Structure 1
Amino acid sequence: MFDIHEELKKLPDKPGVYIMKDAGGMVIYVGKAVVLKNRVRQYFHQSANHPPKVQAMVSKISEFEYIVTDSEVEALMLECNLIKKYRPKYNILLKDDKNYPYIKVTMNEEYPRILKTRRVERDGAKYFGPYSSNLAVNDTIDTLNKLFPVKTCGKRLPKDIGKARPCLNYYMKQCLAPCQGEVNKEEYHEMMKKICSFLGGQYEEILNDLKTQMADASEQLEFEKAAQLRNKISSIAQLSEKQKVLSADGQDRDIIGFSGDASDLCIQIFFVRNGRVIGREHYIFEGEGNEDTGYSLSTFIKQFYNKVQHIPSEIVIQQEIEDGETISQWLSGKRGNKVKLRVPVRGELVRLVKMVSQNADISLKLYKDRLKREDNPHKEGINQLKKVLELENAPRRIEAYDISNTGSSEIVASMVVFIDGKPARQEYRKFKIKSIEQQNDYASMQETLYRRFLRAKKEKDENTQNPKFSELPDLILVDGGTAHVNAAQQVADEFEYGMLIAGMAKDSRHRTKSLIHRGEEYELSSNMPLLRLITEIQDETHRVAVEYNRRLRAKRYTHSELDDINGIGEARKKALLKHFKSLAAVKKADIHKLQEVEGINEKVAAQIYNFFRKA
């Protein structure tokens, strides 16, 4: 039995990370401390004036663990990694894990290119960003390709020089064709330096040069050339408008501000490169509005910069944070040189932080307006579902299942979860059907539910930490009619689970039509709140299943074991999979069966047969 008060006495007087767990052993909070003994004890002081969220967390703590580190910076790094691993309920969590796009100029190559990337590496190339969207990156690269005749192909130079004729871009005067060996390498690099200056926001030199060229062309009566130069000038002007100049010093920095109300918090970040805004993002943290904003800001910075590819030399923030010096040391280590966290008190940066904070306020209000418009749109639908299915209580957790297949291959199932009428995407699960090789929706549904319930039973029996299947649904919905419901009910009965199972039926136009339950069909056309709810659940379940099926198919057709067999190209691989429906069936086939496939002769059939039976 874990005695919290006894364990508190054993806490060391050292830096480290502490891990709070609930009665089920699930990690509910991860934090770091300069002195573990002092920090962890604070949670359990009767006189502590904790915010409501912390009070709720402390009431659920049944045990804790701690890890001692050599320094506070090591503790911070470990804290970030553990939060990413466990995603504890009471930690502030970023809801997206996207990597921002960058523009890469391969100055480490003899004939550099301009690429889009999401990875920043120390490879001698120059990187510009991050940009807030792919669209911003694509627009910028398109503009550069109009302005400069730069190489866009993947030819390896000088190795591939002269091995092929120049491409269409050369004849359209959009490439200097270094692949032909007629381009001076030094001149090409000078052009790439201009591109880097352009990406750095230094437009004036290029604009003045283009205006001079346009004037000369007009004087020489070369009106077509002058028009082309005019279009280039217009492209630069449009790009310059998108990238607003924020500061005259031309420094790279991120500016972070926030705005909160009684319940929620919005943190906004502007990416400033060479004094220009190249992108911005905002994050909404529900239930964090009445928390300590310094703590929220610190947590955001740690999570955000733990995943981004590039860290600027300066991060400007709206207020001081308790562990600012430690975070600065950690970021400096990630960047490779000094990173400064700065809270401005006067001058231009104060104005910029205020502007970012105002944008956070606008984003928060827009979020609130959207919530008001929605006002839990499925609340009435849930109540109607309770009434129609004659349930004692409104179903809080609904699990929905669908099967997707391509003929007899890549048979998969989706498990989608709605909690209180809203999709809980972190609870979604996908299954690849293992027990059958031919299309059979009933058997596929039974395998899916059997595996789902078996995992729940195993996690409960073994008291698994961080379980994924232990929470059982109040209601199961399956895509299909009475036969699908009966097939699913057999599995639930085998595990002696008493939850109700209902079917979601569609009409001839594949639109949600009715609910099937207890052998009866309930038409939804006269119950709009319930129809909207079931339609969203059914569509979401179908979407997840189909996307998983497509991903597996793409993987199968891009690479498989068949690719490793001599004499098997794309045509023969597709013919084999089309004939046998699956790779497993190809492996089982004998030489005579293999020869039945178009394009497979006796020699190739023997190669395939022997390949799958080699020692």
Structure 2
Amino acid sequence: MADPSSYRPKPGQIPDSPGVYKFRDEHGRVIYVGKAKSLRQRLSSYFQDLAGLHPRTRTMVTTAASVEWTVVSTEVEALQLEYSWIKEYDPRFNVKYRDDKSYPSLAVTLNEEFPRVQVMRGPKKKGVRYFGPYAHAWAIRETVDLMLRVFPVRTCSAGVFKRSAQIGRPCLLGYIGKCSAPCVGRVTPEEHRELAEEFCDFMAGRTGAYLRRLEQRMQEAAEEMEYERAARLRDDIEALRRAMEKNAVVLADATDADLIAVAEDELEAAVQIFHVRGGRVRGQRGWVTDKVEAVDTAGLVEHALQQLYGEESGDAVPKEVLVPALPEPPEPVAQWLAERRGARVDLRIPQRGDKKDLMATVQRNAQQALALHKTKRASDLTTRSRALEEIAEALGLDSAPLRVECFDISHLQGQDVVASMVVFEDGLARKSEYRRFQIRGFAGQDDVRSMHEVVSRRFRRYLQEKQKAGEWTEESAVQDDEAPDAPGAPDTHRDDDGRPKRFAYPPQLVVVDGGKPQVAAAQRALDELGVTDVAVCGLAKRLEEVWLPHEDDPVVLPRTSEGLYLLQRVRDEAHRFAIAYQRSKRTRTLKASPLDAVPGLGETRKQALLKHFGSVKRLRAATVEQICETPGIGRKTAETVAAALAAAAPPAPAVNTATGEIMDDVEE
């Protein structure tokens, strides 16, 4: 690991101007490329105290052995040079988008003497006009089959075209009128190119004018009593309309826009793009990437724009590009897009109307793509085994933790404090084992004390059930001389109704959502109960650091670690489960508020009372004079509120007489 101070440029050596910089490793390979409005400010930020750097940035600067830069005139030039260097060097610490699958596109080879319509995959070629991408190749072929009736453009391969020209006889499409047969000279190269360009114009969204022109020609043919030509034009119009129906109308007819949405977590991000031309969705595509550098949503959007339009020009860049967050600053990116298009490009965040609604749809697609990617990754047995082994190695465990339990605390400003416990066995969620807890009393004042209470309650129940199982085993051995696992022996891990007992099985690893304080609280709870065979760790969300008890420094797993990915999934599931429970409790509280029974008390004054006191519990404990201090509440209303709350006092919670424990554990 290199020391960044060993290759730090001397003071005043870095220019204060726009530019692009490269970090190289000890072998001279470029490992990171970046751009900056001010090279001096940006590069200086990399050479601060390592403890203040993002973990991914820290890894990059300690891997590098040198840094160099190139000064440019404007930020737009910096953007262009950054894209060129990323394509050339493929740096390992830059975000790399990869297609989550290979999408086919409809291509028109305008670079050939006789342009051809075909399905194409892979990198784009110069001189070829592309439409899409589409979700399926068969969707392209269906569209082309309808369009060839009106635009009989060549679709055959070079070999078939050459063979037909040699024998002087067209292929089947030429005989049935779905090809103009340029191979045998039925049309000139100029006429065939004009057909191909009209095909491209129609696919690009300029449909209305062409349809009106065909309808006018149909009317003229009918007036001239050329009914066969009029019927053919009628069928052509119908075919084009059927082709148009295959693309949903989502925006106004003249709208040409690309909508980009991003779904991300700490380690990965998914990007989805909808291509809208002429108000219709003409294509869709998506990428999934590892977040190998410290990058926010705006940075991901900028990388996506570079990926989308780096090789494009002209009409391939739409009039509008709608994004969830603007790059910082947005002006250079907008100018770069305008230069590629040759006209102004509106780069913005949709705020209202149909475009905002469509952006929400694109966002849902991005979230589903990320979830699908994670599901595929989690379902692989080899990957899960490697993840458990990595966790065992990082935490110093004797064996892989086949059962992992994770705890999380959730509340709303100290009210309705709840906790969740989720269970993963062999790397997969075991939802039947999930548990939820209510936190009452002093523990709700902070997450640390709440974590201590929840872990204590979980393992206290485990020890109780373990003790019951031991008592049955000893008693049965004396009276019946029957082993616990003998036929007919009761299952000590199941209730009378056959359901698994709540806390019968101990985990090998307890994960808490939080850092050093939460980990210490969980470990203290286990120590107080005498549980010594369960490991504890915490996952801090901000930097994805793994904390261990009695350790001053965290364990930082590599960003590519499957173990870190599994711990993150466990933590996120516990957070989701806790949030869902907390929201359900809050909803029930709001729906069944005691204030609803107060006569003459409207919604506005209810909200005023809750805002002033913070909760119904504090309001119930307040005097009439204190209630009168609430804006809009008079003494008569205050007396009515106090009387109604006194009459609707909540029942005392049920208590286990054997243990003194509040019976408030809830199953999902």
TM-score normalised over the length of structure 2: 0.46
TM-score normalised over the length of structure 1: 0.50
Larger Rg computed on CA atoms: 2
